[in-house]
Chains A and B, each alone.
Chain A
């Protein structure tokens, strides 16, 4: 049973008959909320704009190029695939645009064009369309794209241009480390965080640090996240629980050993936590359906993120944490089914 899509002759037929009889007939209800899938996707895109703008401000035109290329190649990839497989083309729902934008925000601003295109290909075709398209992908497509690139092209994916003001961009941008990367190096080489250079909190809060082009400013991302919660696109459960879990775990360790572990405040503003907690982990398709499930899911993401950041080989663990927890979503959904009204409790 296929649904009736815009290009389906059955619907054209229904329209034609209705024009004759001036009456449609369907099952109740007969009215519908105006908040449809494209509307939701648009809201998420709006919410990402502050974060993306900060990226463009600090990394200049190359960042803009990465964003544009990722969005365009994701949309083209989706349209092409659907055309080739003879499925209805659904790029109008905005999900490919959003995937492209999210992927770009997870890439370094200096990413070469082929890296962006390969990432889009993996995200759209392997992570999304091969699983059946929108609604059927178990893993967040943008994150699959990013992690694929990170593992396959580690050098290109960890070459971080230094942030500068948009108006003082030099032609030959220098590169540096991310705050979390610097921290990991310091611990690895000296066994203590004291050796990590300049661990202030204001720079990563505003975005004046190295990193993926969309993750650098915690402030911009929080603003976007608040917009999403206010618009009731996402609920507070995933971001709040995710961030709180990270804060509590790193906080305990920091209290125990402030020499060996960075402060929870640093862990919150550094790296991709805000981007992950507000925008990646909250992806509707790949997160649990009930609020209880969302809490479990977010707590899991928090624990895995901390474990990878503190004891793993990679400095940052948000992407891996979310992807790992994505795999548990069907289980979480099953375990957190609501008790139906009128059940014997």
Chain B
């Protein structure tokens, strides 16, 4: 009995001793700030910063005073907290969001053959160049959904991926895996994106896809800010720096290939501030504003497309968006 107790106790003591010694000798010295910074990072290890995971980046930004904030996935709050921890201002980059630049769901497009193989777009692409009729379109096997560390992409029932705006951090992981290059990062403040990158002429494209960009150029013509370029062999491209998010292109596009990330908010005129100058009525592309000169103007909410052109032009700051 006694010997058993001594033996087991001895083994336990020995193990504890080894653990204790190891804890002291092999202890990794870590800056407490590093831990604090790590806590603020998303912890998804997406690799968008260029480092091998969040811990590696936390280390870098803590020990290297020159290091810049490279994580695209942190929010304002965390950025501020980290600036506080490190005692220097970390200029965050403008937050980005992924947008899917293909609207060619299987129902709208043709297929060249029946693909048999692993369910991975990249693997499908290397067999005869992918089964989709259009060589630019989404293959629909969901590799972007699979790799998204934030669960921000889901494959819709139509067979195309959809980005969940609130979850997307713009880390770009999906962009790097898409073999067709149809995912693009745009500023989170942006709102419009063209759902097609086909370089085929409209004639070549039409038999393959019912909904692609036909390169008609109407969007470029209606854009008041010159933000859209399109040619016979390039789909419409929105320059996000120039885009003022008026949304005229969306209503003008005959194939509906331009989409909005969110529904634009409509505007209203603050009667007390309105001087009745009529400028808003003149700029409104939707004829949604009317009124008498020198009296407060009105917005017809049914007609308003939320482009916000009037807000930009109003000399007396009398127009605001309706917060719903």
Q: Do the two chains touch directly in the complex (Cβ atoms below 8 Å apart)?
A: yes
Q: Which residues of A contact B (CB under 8 A)?
A: 1-4, 8, 10-11, 13-18, 21, 23-27
Whether B106 lies near A3 (C-beta < 8 A) is no
Whether A25 lies near B118 (C-beta < 8 A) is no
Which residues of chain B from 66 to 120 have any CB-CB distance to chain A below 8 Å in the complex?
106, 111-120
Whether A18 lies near B113 (C-beta < 8 A) is yes
A14 with B114: in contact, given A25-B127, A27-B127 (CB under 8 Å)? yes
Whether A26 lies near B119 (C-beta < 8 A) is no
- Taking a contact as CB atoms closer than 8 A, the residue among A3, A21, A23, A27 that contacts B119 in the complex is A3
Point out the residues of chain B lying under 8 angstroms from A16, CB to CB: 114
- Can you offer 9 A-B residue contacts whose CB atoms are under 8 A? A1-B143, A2-B119, A3-B119, A4-B116, A8-B119, A10-B119, A21-B111, A24-B113, A27-B126
Whether B117 lies near A27 (C-beta < 8 A) is yes
Whether B114 lies near A17 (C-beta < 8 A) is yes
Point out the residues of chain A lying under 8 angstroms from B131, CB to CB: 17, 25
Alpha-carbon separation in the docked complex, A17 to B133 (Å): 12
Beta-carbon nearest neighbor of B113 in chain A: A25
Chain A to chain B: the 8 pairs with minimum beta-carbon distance, closest first: A18-B114, A14-B114, A26-B116, A25-B113, A17-B114, A1-B120, A24-B114, A17-B111
Alpha-carbon separation in the docked complex, A269 to B233 (Å): 80
- Taking a contact as CB atoms closer than 8 A, the residue among A2, A8, A23, A27 that contacts B113 in the complex is A23
Alpha-carbon separation in the docked complex, A16 to B116 (Å): 12
Beta-carbon nearest neighbor of B127 in chain A: A27
Alpha-carbon separation in the docked complex, A16 to B112 (Å): 12
Point out the residues of chain A lying under 8 angstroms from B111, CB to CB: 17, 21
Alpha-carbon separation in the docked complex, A253 to B98 (Å): 72
Point out the residues of chain B lying under 8 angstroms from A21, CB to CB: 111-114
Beta-carbon nearest neighbor of B141 in chain A: A10
Q: How far is the CB of A87 from chain B (nearest CB, A)?
A: 15
Whether A26 lies near B117 (C-beta < 8 A) is yes
The verdict on B146 contacting chain A, using a C-beta distance below 8 Å, is yes
Whether A1 lies near B116 (C-beta < 8 A) is no
Alpha-carbon separation in the docked complex, A1 to B117 (Å): 11
Beta-carbon nearest neighbor of B129 in chain A: A25
Point out the residues of chain A lying under 8 angstroms from B116, CB to CB: 4, 11, 14, 24-26
Point out the residues of chain A lying under 8 angstroms from B127, CB to CB: 25-27
Q: Which residues of B contact A (CB under 8 A)?
A: 106, 111-120, 126-128, 131, 141, 143, 146
Alpha-carbon separation in the docked complex, A326 to B243 (Å): 63
Point out the residues of chain A lying under 8 angstroms from B128, CB to CB: 25
Point out the residues of chain B lying under 8 angstroms from A8, CB to CB: 119
Alpha-carbon separation in the docked complex, A13 to B105 (Å): 13
Point out the residues of chain B lying under 8 angstroms from A14, CB to CB: 114-116
Alpha-carbon separation in the docked complex, A114 to B146 (Å): 42
Alpha-carbon separation in the docked complex, A10 to B114 (Å): 10
Point out the residues of chain A lying under 8 angstroms from B117, CB to CB: 4, 26-27
Point out the residues of chain B lying under 8 angstroms from A13, CB to CB: 106, 114
Q: How far is the CB of B118 from chain A (nearest CB, A)?
A: 6
Q: How far is the CB of B146 from chain A (nearest CB, A)?
A: 6
Whether A25 lies near B119 (C-beta < 8 A) is no
Q: How far is the CB of A18 from chain B (nearest CB, A)?
A: 3
A23 with B118: in contact, given A1-B146, A13-B106, A17-B131 (CB under 8 Å)? no
Whether A26 lies near B115 (C-beta < 8 A) is yes
Alpha-carbon separation in the docked complex, A336 to B129 (Å): 38
Point out the residues of chain A lying under 8 angstroms from B143, CB to CB: 1
Q: How far is the CB of A13 from chain B (nearest CB, A)?
A: 7
Alpha-carbon separation in the docked complex, A75 to B42 (Å): 43
Alpha-carbon separation in the docked complex, A134 to B117 (Å): 20
Q: How far is the CB of B208 from chain A (nearest CB, A)?
A: 14
Q: How far is the CB of B232 from chain A (nearest CB, A)?
A: 30
Q: How far is the CB of B129 from chain A (nearest CB, A)?
A: 10
Alpha-carbon separation in the docked complex, A27 to B120 (Å): 13
Q: How far is the CB of B165 from chain A (nearest CB, A)?
A: 26
Alpha-carbon separation in the docked complex, A23 to B127 (Å): 14
Whether B119 lies near A1 (C-beta < 8 A) is yes
Point out the residues of chain B lying under 8 angstroms from A25, CB to CB: 112-116, 127-128, 131
Q: How far is the CB of B158 from chain A (nearest CB, A)?
A: 13
Q: How far is the CB of B240 from chain A (nearest CB, A)?
A: 32
Whether A23 lies near B120 (C-beta < 8 A) is no
Point out the residues of chain A lying under 8 angstroms from B141, CB to CB: 10
- Taking a contact as CB atoms closer than 8 A, the residue among A1, A15, A17, A24 that contacts B118 in the complex is A1
Point out the residues of chain B lying under 8 angstroms from A3, CB to CB: 118-119
Point out the residues of chain B lying under 8 angstroms from A10, CB to CB: 119, 141
Beta-carbon nearest neighbor of B122 in chain A: A1
Alpha-carbon separation in the docked complex, A123 to B182 (Å): 47
Q: How far is the CB of B10 from chain A (nearest CB, A)?
A: 23
Alpha-carbon separation in the docked complex, A238 to B112 (Å): 49
Alpha-carbon separation in the docked complex, A11 to B124 (Å): 13
Point out the residues of chain B lying under 8 angstroms from A1, CB to CB: 118-120, 143, 146
Alpha-carbon separation in the docked complex, A27 to B129 (Å): 11
User: What would 4 more interface pairs be, CB under 8 Å, given A1-B119, A26-B116?
Assistant: A17-B111, A18-B113, A23-B114, A24-B116
Alpha-carbon separation in the docked complex, A104 to B113 (Å): 48
Point out the residues of chain B lying under 8 angstroms from A2, CB to CB: 119
Beta-carbon nearest neighbor of A19 in chain B: B114
Beta-carbon nearest neighbor of A21 in chain B: B113
Point out the residues of chain B lying under 8 angstroms from A4, CB to CB: 116-119
Alpha-carbon separation in the docked complex, A86 to B223 (Å): 49
Point out the residues of chain B lying under 8 angstroms from A15, CB to CB: 114
Q: How far is the CB of A24 from chain B (nearest CB, A)?
A: 5
Interface-centre pick from B115, B120, B146 (highest chain A CB count, 10 A): B115
Alpha-carbon separation in the docked complex, A27 to B127 (Å): 6
Alpha-carbon separation in the docked complex, A2 to B155 (Å): 14
Q: How far is the CB of A7 from chain B (nearest CB, A)?
A: 13
